[in-house]
Structure 1
């Protein structure tokens, strides 16, 4: 992220109006070299998921930042008329940073050449190593959460799963390891956590395991839940193991990516609704006091205010309820919780922020600065689209792809729509 930001900053500096007029002869060549290398770094950082490249990101950040410092320093000196020689920026001052940029570029190119099988992932998405629930950061996630107010969603999903169609239906709700998924599927199918012939599985290759899973699913109809899919490539890799026997089998797929949901089943992905205020309060109340106990009447009004601040998100309500369970059941204590709700959420990084962190981790680099910029606005602040787009452009976050005829405004709008489809921004 830091490397990408540095690259964008350098390109923004090089894009300043009339800056090329300060360069002449060899300096013009170096100016063009800096731009070309920076654009190369931008392309690599946006479109490459190679882990070895990540080890060079700090080198990229350092050399790019140094190059920008030199360019800005020389421009400043020229303006102050301290280093003006015949109106030309001396090329020898830029030679060291140009050479460092070239050296780093060669290192990146060597890695990509040696690992050509994993160079580019044009969608900008990376595969994940495990589902969100198996992530160490989320291992303490509440397993017995009481979820109020989702009866309508559950009824819709239930009808889809029990629907009359005989074709295999994919019901979607808006670091993957293929072999692990196959092994887990075999464990689930055999209804055992530990299988006696595990050693036999270890001897099988992925194709043999996939064939075994598919054969095991042939026959009676099945229901398979595939949780937290992040990219189309992941779905493509596992969808082939689900045979369509025209017997009403179902696959329940959950994802945070709208485009993945539509890709898996273009008919009508089900989008989960937020809880309304009544159900938010019921969830909060039941988790704090339990289903069988009444709550103090004097806490209902402030309790509803706390629930409303959670904006209908069950995970946040659960976190706040957990905090309230450990505090005094007094009006003063609950009023303090209402005032410090954001701080409480931030104090549980393995829950709310852990979930958000997964979504942020899988953002393409080009979207990360745009998303982080949203933190500049006050809580619950409504931002006009045109204003947000102009701020992104002014900050240098938006760059049209090479050869594109789209304006910066059009590119920024695409970025915004992308963030919305990833359920990171509420439109």
Structure 2
């Protein structure tokens, strides 16, 4: 969120009244370039759920902050009449930061272009970036995401959200990593009956590093799209208590749904939490089949038996099934022998996609207390599907 705040601050600086009148010739072109790049960063940070964007957030923050420092310095020099030559501000001092901004933009664009066909797999209960999910309204192709086995869960959540509830009701969704908690929350968030019932929708992400101010800014970012409130450019100037007061005032009165995603510590008490279960074999196979062949496409009959074996080996985790489906559809011929080989090498395939799969499941490991990590790792001594006696494991 620090990167997003830095981008907003730069845009605010560039949008100062009459700033274009102070700059001339190539300097004005450079300001326009900085503004266009900053607006691109703003859109990416606010609406992209690609986990890899996290690796660029610090780069974005640094280059954007440097650009703002240079612009503010040049404005100060103009006012002091220290940088004028024949009435025209020298522009060469801004060239390095313009080039740095452009280089970072190209790197981000290349990343998003490379991973565009993988977004669906990354959204299944993925590590949704705390700075990027201010508004999880899905793009068109994500709205058609096929997730079998969640209809029953969605019906339960729907009844709780639209049924007779107390003044404030908290619905928690729990389950292991990769089981589809975030996917279920998104489906409820976008569910039309719920959309008709609720007035304001807010999505905020906590993640393992909780930042109070960032959560407030994310909430206001969502609210500002649905209600006319303070100019969003004013947020960066506000204190935390002012932001909190603004959130409270805008939520007071109307019916609202606030989704708080990716919580790693005890957050709130609830009388009846909703615990998600693993997919059964039937729904696992349906999910794999539909992701491979689509809802309206028949699959080769000879692949059904081996396909069910592959689905069974995924242990009911939608995330694993999505990764394997992507692997099958992109790199493996739709032949019986090829699919048999995938069934035999499933673990290796999963390990070969660390950013999609192990990165998600790895969070559970890294969140373990230090005394339990060696216990978990010791299980690697036993072969897959090996029957382990309890006394031996202990």
TM-score range (shorter-chain normalised) is: 0.5 to 0.7
Larger mean CA deviation between 16-25 and 54-63 belongs to 16-25
Q: How far is the alpha carbon of 1:306 from its aligned partner? A: 0.3
Q: How far is the alpha carbon of 1:153 from its aligned partner? A: 1.4
Larger mean CA deviation between 158-167 and 200-209 belongs to 158-167
Q: How far is the alpha carbon of 1:377 from its aligned partner? A: 2.0
1:331–1:267: structure 2 CA closer, same or farther, 3 Å change rule?
same
Q: Contact (CA 8 Å) 2:206, 2:261: kept in 1 or not?
A: no
Which string of whole-angstrom CA distances, capped at 9 and with x for unpartnered residues, describes residues 56-77 of structure 1?
Answer: 9999999999999999999999
Residues in 1 aligned to 2:35 and 2:227: alpha-carbon distance in whole angstroms: 55
Which string of whole-angstrom CA distances, capped at 9 and with x for unpartnered residues, describes residues 44-67 of structure 1?
Answer: 999999999999999999999999
Q: Contact (CA 8 Å) 1:281, 1:303: kept in 2 or not?
A: yes
TM-score by length of 1: 0.49
Q: Contact (CA 8 Å) 1:22, 1:87: kept in 2 or not?
A: no
Q: Contact (CA 8 Å) 1:5, 1:369: kept in 2 or not?
A: no
1:50–1:140: structure 2 CA closer, same or farther, 3 Å change rule?
closer
Unaligned runs of 5+ in 2: 172-204
Residues in 1 aligned to 2:369 and 2:267: alpha-carbon distance in whole angstroms: 19
Larger mean CA deviation between 131-140 and 265-274 belongs to 131-140
Unaligned runs of 5+ in 1: 232-261, 388-425
Larger mean CA deviation between 362-371 and 27-36 belongs to 27-36
Q: How far is the alpha carbon of 1:345 from its aligned partner? A: 0.5
Which string of whole-angstrom CA distances, capped at 9 and with x for unpartnered residues, describes residues 10-34 of structure 1?
Answer: 9999999999999999999999999
Residues in 2 aligned to 1:203 and 1:292: alpha-carbon distance in whole angstroms: 52
Residues in 2 aligned to 1:201 and 1:106: alpha-carbon distance in whole angstroms: 28
Match of 1:142 in 2: 142
Q: Contact (CA 8 Å) 2:67, 2:98: kept in 1 or not?
A: yes
Q: Contact (CA 8 Å) 1:137, 1:354: kept in 2 or not?
A: no
Q: Contact (CA 8 Å) 1:153, 1:273: kept in 2 or not?
A: no
Larger mean CA deviation between 38-47 and 363-372 belongs to 38-47
Query: Highest CA radius of gyration, 1 or 2?
Result: 1
Residues in 2 aligned to 1:352 and 1:163: alpha-carbon distance in whole angstroms: 36
1:284–1:33: structure 2 CA closer, same or farther, 3 Å change rule?
closer
Which string of whole-angstrom CA distances, capped at 9 and with x for unpartnered residues, describes residues 121-175 of structure 1?
Answer: 9999999983797999999998863110122111111112122123211109992
CA RMSD of aligned residues (A): 18.6
Does residue 1:104 correspond to 2:115, yes or no?
no
Q: Contact (CA 8 Å) 1:125, 1:363: kept in 2 or not?
A: no
Q: How far is the alpha carbon of 1:288 from its aligned partner? A: 0.5
Q: Contact (CA 8 Å) 1:10, 1:38: kept in 2 or not?
A: yes
Q: Contact (CA 8 Å) 1:130, 1:177: kept in 2 or not?
A: no
Q: Contact (CA 8 Å) 1:146, 1:287: kept in 2 or not?
A: yes
Q: How far is the alpha carbon of 1:205 from its aligned partner? A: 1.2
Which string of whole-angstrom CA distances, capped at 9 and with x for unpartnered residues, describes residues 395-426 of structure 1?
Answer: xxxxxxxxxxxxxxxxxxxxxxxxxxxxxxx9
Q: How far is the alpha carbon of 1:287 from its aligned partner? A: 0.4
Q: Contact (CA 8 Å) 2:146, 2:291: kept in 1 or not?
A: yes
Larger mean CA deviation between 263-272 and 329-338 belongs to 263-272
Residues in 2 aligned to 1:58 and 1:304: alpha-carbon distance in whole angstroms: 43
Q: How far is the alpha carbon of 1:355 from its aligned partner? A: 0.3
Q: Contact (CA 8 Å) 2:292, 2:325: kept in 1 or not?
A: yes
Does residue 1:298 correspond to 2:302, yes or no?
yes
- 3-state SS of 1:350 partner: helix
Q: How many residues align?
A: 359
1:301–1:263: structure 2 CA closer, same or farther, 3 Å change rule?
same
Q: Contact (CA 8 Å) 1:48, 1:124: kept in 2 or not?
A: no
Match of 1:247 in 2: none
Q: How far is the alpha carbon of 1:376 from its aligned partner? A: 1.9
Q: How far is the alpha carbon of 1:326 from its aligned partner? A: 1.5
Give 1:344's match in structure 2, choosing from 322, 345, 349: 349
Q: Contact (CA 8 Å) 1:129, 1:176: kept in 2 or not?
A: no
Q: Contact (CA 8 Å) 1:128, 1:230: kept in 2 or not?
A: no
Q: Contact (CA 8 Å) 1:127, 1:176: kept in 2 or not?
A: no
Match of 1:34 in 2: 34
Residues in 2 aligned to 1:361 and 1:294: alpha-carbon distance in whole angstroms: 41
Q: How far is the alpha carbon of 1:289 from its aligned partner? A: 0.7
1:355–1:292: structure 2 CA closer, same or farther, 3 Å change rule?
same
Which string of whole-angstrom CA distances, capped at 9 and with x for unpartnered residues, describes residues 344-385 of structure 1?
Answer: 111111111010122222222222222222222222334444
Larger mean CA deviation between 130-139 and 184-193 belongs to 130-139
Q: How far is the alpha carbon of 1:321 from its aligned partner? A: 0.3
TM-score by length of 2: 0.53
Which string of whole-angstrom CA distances, capped at 9 and with x for unpartnered residues, describes residues 307-363 of structure 1?
Answer: 000011000000000011023410011011101111111111111101012222222
